[in-house]
Chains A and B, each alone.
Chain A
Amino acid sequence: DGGITQSPKYLFRKEGQNVTLSCEQNLNHDAMYWYRQDPGQGLRLIYYSQIVNDFQKGDIAEGYSVSREKKESFPLTVTSAQKNPTAFYLCASSIRTGGSTGELFFGEGSRLTVL
């Protein structure tokens, strides 16, 4: 069953702790993305990667880090430097090949709460 899987679905963290959110896809997509969703704020891009071992900052990258060691995986680390980390995080993937519309396929999201 092809798709994009995020884990964990819910995560609680104490202030000052780093936490890593997992994102795995078996769609053979080149590009992967992390978005943050806050009420009334839409979807804001944190980081994206168009190819293995390469990634770029999005609009709100401060306090976050990523890696792309495998095509299938794009984990996001929320560091203690992120001042307001409580949010819903969505991972997505898309085909990168020219001519494609680049439709985003989203995971089910991870809800992070900082206590």
Chain B
Amino acid sequence: GENVEQHPSTLSVQEGDSAVIKCTYSDSASNYFPWYKQELGKRPQLIIDIRSNVGEKKDQRIAVTLNKTAKHFSLHITETQPEDSAVYFCAARPGAGSYQLTFGKGTKLSVIP
């Protein structure tokens, strides 16, 4: 089955700096890569996603890049703000017809004011 590795497990940045979280996946047939944000005590919510036919996607201060050859994808947050502090999970979905997501173990991001 699919295996998703996520790094780092914790990340602290100064407010205004950038944060990068990296994930690798094992199944070359995986075609969809979402990122979920879970604030303390709240439910995970989708913040951005990318399909395998796209190399980069951006939404305001967040962006995701995908390298299919190397089987890794990354989340980039620019101009970080205290409200970005949360646990971020990457995930991968195996090929067509599957709606099953395999999640990474999460990255706890702390933005220091």
Contacts and interface: CB of A to CB of B under 8 A. Distances in A.
Contact of A103 (B42, B46, B102, B106): B46
Contact of A43 (B1, B44, B45): B44
A102 interface: yes
Given A43-B103, A90-B44, 11 more contacts: A40-B9, A41-B105, A42-B6, A50-B99, A94-B99, A101-B34, A101-B49, A103-B49, A104-B101, A106-B43, A108-B43
Interface of A: 31, 35, 40-45, 48, 50, 58-59, 90, 94, 96, 98, 101-104, 106-109
A101 B105 contact: no
Interface in B37-65: 42-46, 49, 51
B105 A102 contact: no
A102 B32 contact: yes
